[in-house]
A and B are shown apart, each in its own frame.
Chain A
């Protein structure tokens, strides 16, 4: 090789090395002048996800308020929304010591990611600022707390999740109020089926699991299972509440009370059945109003004829799922980043910002907001009504996807259709579900 060629080769190699090094640079705080810049991987604009859109606007407001002191750089992240790939994506970043300074996860994902040792523990921050710690609603930190008391995330919402029901359809079979027991629900469902209508719109994933959770939670011992046993592995097929709930839900499919496209895992199938007026009931959270019921996809007049109810009870009373699973986590490692992260956490959990979020997304604040402010905020009545309904419910418990093992969702989607189609018995289904869901524990 000539001297000239060697020089050219050396220059190419040096440029490649420099490019590689810059591409692999970690995510520690960048100081521009006196401004501390941190990264957010869940703050991008989204025309379809009201939570991401809210995060984007909140980060923008934060940047304006703290201009010159702190700034959030919003990363464009395809895994920002809830998805099966999300945990694995952040696990890869954790291994590369390149976690974003702030991003959001649900509690099962938080539990898994905390094992990398790369998540910031907020315990010290909450202990050091008891006034701020006291603003959170009771129980809102529970699902975000580790085995040894570490607080891995700051909650964004605390949402009661119940059931939307079509008052006209249920009225057509003699129900002026939503059924308060599962037996009454089944009577109404049978009557609706006779009229050629569906009682319940499900999707094989989120909404189906909501119904399963409600069926478990409203029985003796069910709450204990949903707040304890489910998270720790073990064989669920010996739990009577779980067996009874599972068989009852399967029977509804067999009887034709549920839409036939209820296995895809795509919530839009459940939403379409309800929004078209074909199904009388759909379980979902308060955001359903803004993202579905108030859109053009809903049949005319459906909003006006939609009511909201907590879950019917079985023997011991009615209940409701309360989710405070989604939380802000932090991968910040250096002090300036952590200082900026805490500034944002305080900003985003301030009552006025929490109210802004409630207005924008329909979700309910994780912090206590003065009643007067709540009234003057003029929140959407249907979703705000969930808070009142939740207060009267006898039981509250987390959704299985929030408190269950991280592998629960894929395992459920794989096994549930085969179980409903009669290809395995209840014991086999629950044994395999618990084993597969816990495989990564």
Chain B
């Protein structure tokens, strides 16, 4: 019986090895080399020392953390709040859920193109709404003061995933808890804050984890909207690695890849601990 089982695992093992394990080993190995694809020389920690001394790298780390903060501090709380409201089965909740989920399935590239038109300083919708109110015309994506916020504004309102996870988790909360609270005279606010929110801890932790891991490698939105400019104000770690790769500095690019992996790993551990993801209270 073991033979067929092992055989059935073979395709998955081969694909995992070819497309994940081998590249990961290459990434680890070459992050400590000067490699342009042709010649390869071991340089120890030089790539990392160069990163530490590069003000652009410091900037892109800051930008990446900014986008991660936007996800966790805006997108997740907002999505959870909307999910809680929709879970009360307000009239038309199914239609709302569907509409709010649609942006989640639109590709990042298409989304970026839509927002490039929205932010266009000459004929974009945003300026056409604000300028008649007496506000100055702005180039939202190419002014250093607004560019990062404009990029964050394209994704923090994509709430569909968080809403669906929240609603699914709420559906699994036993109705008796709410009934008991009602008997005890709890208000609606108290029911949500004392019962729903604490029991959503796992779902919120999962949403935070998924958003962090998705956004730590953010590339397409930024690449299409601003290519990282102006003056690297919107550039991310992934874009920084891409530039190094285009310059033929593959070892240096892979050192950035390693930083992304380590940062991602640290965030996973921190979030799992903070939200005790996977542990059950009931």
Q: Which residues of A contact B (CB under 8 A)?
A: 1-2, 4-5, 8-9, 12, 16, 84-85, 87-88, 91-92, 95, 112, 116, 204, 259-261, 263-266, 269, 273, 407, 410, 413-418, 421, 423-424, 439-440
Asked if B50 is at the interface (CB within 8 A of a chain A CB), the reply is no
Which chain A residues border B245 with CB–CB below 8 Å? 88
A-B contact pairs, 10 of them (CB 8 A): A1-B6, A9-B7, A9-B10, A12-B7, A261-B121, A410-B246, A414-B227, A414-B228, A415-B231, A421-B230
Which chain A residues border B232 with CB–CB below 8 Å? 414
Chain A interface: which of B25-33, B135-143, B256-264, B270-278?
B135-143
Bound together, the chains give a CA A413 to CA B232 distance in angstroms of 10
B3 touches A417 (CB 8 A): no
Chain B residue at minimal CB-CB distance from A9: B7
- Residues 1 to 58 of chain B near chain A (Cβ within 8 Å): 2-4, 6-7, 10, 14, 37-38
Which chain A residues border B142 with CB–CB below 8 Å? 204, 263-264, 417, 421
Given contacts A1-B6, A91-B37, A414-B228, contact A260 B243 (CB under 8 A): no
Given contacts A414-B229, A423-B144, contact A84 B246 (CB under 8 A): yes
B7 touches A263 (CB 8 A): no
Q: Which of B14, B230, B231, B247 has a CB less than 8 Å from the CB of A440?
A: B247
A410 touches B3 (CB 8 A): no
Q: Which of A5, A88, A423 has a CB less than 8 Å from the CB of B231?
A: A423
Smallest Cβ distance from A111 to chain B, in angstroms?
13
Which chain B residues border A264 with CB–CB below 8 Å? 116, 120, 141-142
Asked if B248 is at the interface (CB within 8 A of a chain A CB), the reply is yes
Bound together, the chains give a CA A423 to CA B142 distance in angstroms of 12
Chain A residue at minimal CB-CB distance from B228: A414
Bound together, the chains give a CA A424 to CA B233 distance in angstroms of 13
Smallest Cβ distance from B65 to chain A, in angstroms?
20
Bound together, the chains give a CA A266 to CA B232 distance in angstroms of 18
Chain A residue at minimal CB-CB distance from B38: A95
Given contacts A84-B246, A261-B122, A440-B248, contact A418 B230 (CB under 8 A): yes
Given contacts A9-B10, A116-B38, contact A418 B229 (CB under 8 A): yes
Bound together, the chains give a CA A91 to CA B249 distance in angstroms of 12
Chain B CB within 10 Å — which of A84, A261, A439 has the most?
Answer: A261
B122 touches A263 (CB 8 A): no
Which chain A residues border B141 with CB–CB below 8 Å? 263-264
- Residues 102 to 132 of chain B near chain A (Cβ within 8 Å): 116, 120-123
A87 touches B246 (CB 8 A): yes
